[in-house]
Amino acid sequence: MIKNEVFNFLSGYFHEDWILDHDSDMDVVRAFAESGINVREVVALADKIECVAAIHDHEFDDSWLLREYGCYYQPRADDLVASDWLRHIAIILRQCVHGRTDFE
């Protein structure tokens, strides 16, 4: 279940043309968090993304992002490790919904 939800987010928002829709990877994350999805769902996704990051913590090759999650963003291009990038996404997701009260 964790993989499916993270796959849906990463493949849906970081598709092969994501850079045409947004200026940066963090703009993609903010757009998702502010798209009307309720707070609980955003926080749950952030938790699941952190779990995926932990699973792949010791992998130096980030090709698993595309192979397993359909994600076309390449963290290494920005001198990032994929698991650290995912943790940063989780932080940004939580920051975007901090203070919102729409839990339904």
Give the burial string for 61-96 (b: 16+ CB within 10 Å, else e).
Answer: ebeebbebbbbebbbeeeebbbbebbbbbbebbbeb
Give the per-residue pLDDT at 101: 60
Give the per-residue pLDDT at 102: 59
Domain residue limits, the chain: 2-97
Q: Which tokens go with 97?
A: 């919904």
Q: What is the mean pLDDT of each run of 10 residues along the chain (104 residues)?
A: 86 95 93 88 96 91 93 92 95 85 55
Alpha helices in 1-104 (DSSP H): 2-13, 18-21, 25-33, 39-55, 64-69, 82-97
Give the per-residue pLDDT at 36: 83
Give the per-residue pLDDT at 58: 85
Q: Which tokens go with 61?
A: 């090759």
